[in-house]
Amino acid sequence: MPYYHFDEIWTPLTFVGIRLFRDNESGIWIKFWGTKRRRIRAIDA
Taking 70 as the threshold, does the pLDDT of residue 44 lie above it? no
User: What contacts 34, CB < 8 A, 6 or more positions away?
Assistant: none
Assign 23 a pLDDT band (cuts: 50, 70, 90): confident
**Burial category of 29 from C-beta neighbours within 10 Å (exposed 0-12, middle 13-18, buried 19 and up):** buried
pTM (two decimals): 0.73
